[in-house]
Amino acid sequence: MNGMRCFIPFILLFLAVNAQAGIVKSYSLKADLSCSDNNALLVFSASQLSSLIGKNVDEVTLFHMRGQQNNSTENWQPIIFQIDQKDKQGRFIIQTDNKLPARLSAQDELVIRKKDLGIQLDPDAEIFSQFKLIEVKVLNETLDIMGWFYINTSPGQSLIFNQKKRELSYDEKLDTITTRAFKTGFSHSKPFLINSFYWRLAGNKWSDDLSDMMKIRHSGRFFGLPFHRSQDDYDSVLAAVKKGPLRIIRRTENRIKVFWKLKTPALYIDYIMMPDGFIMDTMIDIPFKISFFFSELETFTTMDWNPVQPEPLLIFNNRVGETIPVDGIDSAAKRAFNTIEDSKFSVQTFDGTFDVSLDIPENFPVRAMLYLNDHHNEIDPPENFPGQYGNVGFRTIGWEAIDSQLYHLKFTVCIQKQQNSLY
288-292, 361-365, 374-378, 411-415, range with the lowest pLDDT:
288-292
Number of separate helices (H) and strands (E) present in the chain: 2, 28
Is there a contact between 370 and 395 (Cβ–Cβ < 8 Å)? yes
- pLDDT, residue 223, reads 80
Is there a contact between 363 and 375 (Cβ–Cβ < 8 Å)? no
- pLDDT, residue 385, reads 66
Mean pLDDT of all residues in 380-390 = 72
Mean pLDDT of all residues in 229-236 = 90
Query: 112 pLDDT exceeds 80?
Result: yes
Mean pLDDT of all residues in 384-406 = 86
Side chain identity at 202, as an amino acid letter?
A
**Rounded alpha-carbon distances, angstroms, from residue 317 to 176, 229, 248, 333, 393:** 30, 28, 29, 10, 12
- pLDDT, residue 14, reads 36
303 burial (CB, 10 Å; 0-12 / 13-18 / 19+) is: buried
Strand pairing category for 176-179 and 385-397: unpaired
Closest-CA residue to 94 (of 83, 105, 103): 83
Mean pLDDT of all residues in 396-410 = 87
* Phi, psi values for residue 11, rounded to 5°: -60, -45
CA torsion, ordered 199, 411, 306, 251, to nearest 10 deg: -80
pLDDT in tens, 317-353: 999 989 999 999 999 999 999 999 999 999 999 999 9
- pLDDT, residue 164, reads 60
Is there a contact between 82 and 246 (Cβ–Cβ < 8 Å)? yes
Q: How many Å is the maximal CA-CA distance in the chain?
A: 99
pLDDT in tens, 3-15: 545 444 433 333 3
**Average pLDDT, rounded, for the chain:** 85
Global pTM exceeds 0.85? yes
Which secondary-structure segment (H or E) carries 3?
helix 2-20
- pLDDT, residue 124, reads 79
Instruction: Please report the sign of the dihedral spanned by the C-alpha atoms of residue 307, residue 277, residue 204, residue 420.
Output: negative
- pLDDT, residue 283, reads 92
* Phi, psi values for residue 96, rounded to 5°: -65, -25
* Phi, psi values for residue 409, rounded to 5°: -105, 120
Please provide the distance, in angstroms rounded to a whole number, between the alpha carbons at the two ends of the chain: 80
Strand partners, 98: none
Instruction: Please report the sign of the dihedral spanned by the C-alpha atoms of residue 18, residue 24, residue 26, residue 27.
Output: negative
pLDDT in tens, 139-184: 988 889 999 999 997 765 554 444 567 899 999 999 999 999 999 9
Ramachandran quadrant class, 384 (left: phi over 0; alpha: psi -120 to 50; beta: rest): left
Which segments of 266-422 does DSSP mark as H helices, in order?
332-337
- pLDDT, residue 38, reads 76
Mean pLDDT of all residues in 186-212 = 95
